[in-house]
Amino acid sequence: MSAGARRHLTSVERDLDRARIERIVSLAGSFEEVAHREIKKVPALRGRTVLNLFYEASTRTRSSFELAAKRLSADVVNFAASGSSVEKGESLKDTVLTLSAHKPDVVCVRTPWAGAADLVAQWSGASVVNAGDGKHEHPTQALLDVYTLVRKIGALDGASIWIVGDVLHSRVARSNILAFQRMGASVTVAGPPTLIPRGIEHLGCAVRYDLDDLRDADVVYALRMQNERIDQPYLPSLREYAARFQVNGRRLHPRQILMHPGPVNRGIELSGEVVDSPQAVITAQVEGGVVVRMAVLYELLEGARAIRRHRRRQAGAAARMSAPPLVHRASPPASVLVRRAHVLDPRTGTDAPHDVLVRDGVVAEIAPPGSLREQAGLEKVDGEGRHLLPAFVDPHVHLRTPGQEHKEDLDTGTRGGGRRGFCAVIAMPNTDPVVDSAPILRALRDAATREARIPSASRRASRSGWPASG
Ligand code: CP
């Protein structure tokens, strides 16, 4: 599988290598702040349509796909099989073809049939996300579980994760075994022999039929006892199951993390005390579901463009972290030629790579890259990949003009910047309306001319929802 953009997400096995998992986890992290805004929305998928096609009950997955799409400003069509023409006998294929008339860009599909998501991908022109297909896979659950764990314990390399319970009927188990291992964890599945599929060790996991060594685990991932899928007697009784395999206060060590995909059968696979314990991250999993599904929708629709942008931002951040200062001395050279530095100057509106000539401590010339001649006695510095600012500039202030002036305005924000020693500030576009068009930017610049105490520039929101300089 290539690590590049893919059109569908129907299985971990085929669609998710470590690089793509890490990319989605990282993207999801960048969506976290949207949930803390007053207006929890970015315009990233404005004009796109997401169709949620659910043939099975769902609380978490359906609500989080809907919320994810809405937070990205997509239009959402929710389809539930109950109450639809499916009850009159319409097939999955005909339903997909019918709803394709609404021209969805993404179809998120849950069915009780293994492989159905891949069929929908063949019938529909949209990108397809598997929201759970029978006993087969649930890839976005695996992604949100990786996301939750990475936020809790950092890299999963070397972590020991035990998946306990009804593995036989669990699409979550299959997706998570693969995803956790791809992230470097070692996985053990444990449960009664009748609920562990024969040959599961071929996926690379260890198998245990008791919980005697559960304390070896860093993470205990309990599965729901899937009563609705059990049509044969797999267990003598649920009481017997709970006695041998329930994760409870006696079996769970205080240092271990407890996960569960939900819904929980309290008193069966988990005791009430561990569900409510500080070790349980079950609510965090649900919270992570929204940002992870935002990242999946965004990645599928913005595809390679978004990935390139995200990588550039990461590379830029890494370069900024590791790059030594351009001139790292007590007394900088009086005459220096800086080549190809990205010059940001709010006063002149410069925002591009330039060569800069400083002579006797004074900026003598700023010109397009390669256009300044080298001269004897000039120190030369390679500025590629770095930003060059006229003085101390605070590049991330929240002036809140227009529309949010009761929180911060041009006067108070720039006055504060000046007091902290900055000679200019760059304002973020989280305003109301956001600064995403020329008229709003012009009005803001006019206001800044009147009210700002030190020069201010604004970052504008691009149409895709990501800030770009402006
Ligand atoms: N974890 C999960 O898939 O939950 P729902 O069935 O509520 O969507």
Checking if the pLDDT of 313 tops 70, the result is no
| Least confident among 1-5, 10-14, 445-449 | 1-5
Ligand 1 atom, smallest distance to 61 CA: 8
Q: State percent of the chain over pLDDT 90.
A: 56
Cβ–ligand 1 contact at 262 (below 6 Å): yes
Q: Considering the chain, tell me which residue range(s) the CATH 2.30.40.10 domain(s) occupy.
A: 336-388
Q: Quote the pLDDT of residue 322.
A: 59
Task: Give the CATH fold of the 140-228+239-286 domain.
Answer: Rossmann fold (3.40.50)
Distance from Cα 110 to the centre of ligand 1, integer Å: 10
Cβ–ligand 1 contact at 59 (below 6 Å): yes
Q: Quote the pLDDT of residue 284.
A: 97
Distance from Cα 64 to the centre of ligand 1, integer Å: 10
Higher pLDDT residue, 372 or 8?
A: 8
pLDDT band at 331 (very low <50, low <70, confident <90, very high): low
Residue to probe by mutation, ligand 1, list 52, 54, 61, most atoms within 8 Å of CB: 61
Higher pLDDT residue, 317 or 409?
A: 409
Distance CA 358, CA 334 (A): 7
Q: How many residues does the chain have?
A: 470
Cβ–ligand 1 contact at 132 (below 6 Å): yes
| Least confident among 94-103, 246-255, 371-380 | 371-380
Mean pLDDT on 183-206: 97
Mean pLDDT on 312-338: 63
Ligand 1, atom 1: closest residue by C-alpha: 261
Higher pLDDT residue, 33 or 150?
A: 150
Q: Quote the pLDDT of residue 409.
A: 78
One-character DSSP codes across 201-225: GGGT-EEESS-TTGGG-SEEEEPP-
Cβ–ligand 1 contact at 285 (below 6 Å): no
Checking if the pLDDT of 332 tops 90, the result is no
3-state secondary structure at position 76: strand
Spell out the CATH class of 12-133+294-305.
alpha beta
Cβ–ligand 1 contact at 60 (below 6 Å): yes
Distance CA 456, CA 409 (A): 12
Distance from Cα 451 to the centre of ligand 1, integer Å: 52
Mean pLDDT on 415-444: 76
Q: Considering the chain, tell me which residue range(s) the CATH 3.40.50.1370 domain(s) occupy.
A: 12-133+294-305, 140-228+239-286
Checking if the pLDDT of 176 tops 60, the result is yes
Higher pLDDT residue, 384 or 327?
A: 384
Q: Quote the pLDDT of residue 470.
A: 33
Q: What are phi and psi of 201, to 5 degrees?
A: -65, -15
Distance from Cα 62 to the centre of ligand 1, integer Å: 8
Residues 6+ apart with CB under 8 A from 26: 310, 314
Cβ–ligand 1 contact at 261 (below 6 Å): yes
pLDDT band at 465 (very low <50, low <70, confident <90, very high): very low
| Least confident among 70-84, 323-337, 379-393 | 323-337
Q: Quote the pLDDT of residue 467.
A: 36
Q: Give the number of other Cβ atoms within 10 Å of residue 81's Cβ.
A: 19
Checking if the pLDDT of 223 tops 60, the result is yes
Q: Are strands 336-345 and 379-382 parallel, antiparallel or unpaired?
A: parallel
Q: Quote the pLDDT of residue 2.
A: 42
Distance from Cα 264 to the centre of ligand 1, integer Å: 10
Mean pLDDT on 108-125: 96
Distance from Cα 254 to the centre of ligand 1, integer Å: 27
Residue to probe by mutation, ligand 1, list 53, 58, 171, most atoms within 8 Å of CB: 58
Mean pLDDT on 194-207: 97
Tokens describing residue 185: 């964890």
Higher pLDDT residue, 101 or 378?
A: 101
Distance CA 382, CA 324 (A): 12
pLDDT band at 242 (very low <50, low <70, confident <90, very high): very high
The most confident of the ranges 202-211, 349-358, 412-421 is: 202-211
Higher pLDDT residue, 285 or 388?
A: 285
Ligand 1 atom, smallest distance to 132 CA: 3
Distance from Cα 187 to the centre of ligand 1, integer Å: 22
Checking if the pLDDT of 4 tops 60, the result is no
| Least confident among 31-35, 174-178, 208-212 | 31-35
Instruction: Identify the burial level of 343 via C-beta atoms within 10 angstroms of its C-beta, where 0-12 means exposed, 13-18 middle and 19 or more buried.
Output: buried
Cβ–ligand 1 contact at 112 (below 6 Å): no
Mean pLDDT on 135-157: 97
Higher pLDDT residue, 204 or 3?
A: 204
The CATH number of the structural domain formed by 336-388 is: 2.30.40.10
Mean pLDDT on 147-157: 97
Distance from Cα 58 to the centre of ligand 1, integer Å: 5
Q: Quote the pLDDT of residue 342.
A: 85
Ligand 1 atom, smallest distance to 262 CA: 1
Q: State percent of the chain over pLDDT 70.
A: 88
pLDDT band at 329 (very low <50, low <70, confident <90, very high): very low
Ligand 1, atom 6: closest residue by C-alpha: 58
pLDDT band at 133 (very low <50, low <70, confident <90, very high): very high
| pTM listed for this prediction | 0.68
Q: Quote the pLDDT of residue 347.
A: 65
Distance CA 131, CA 140 (A): 7
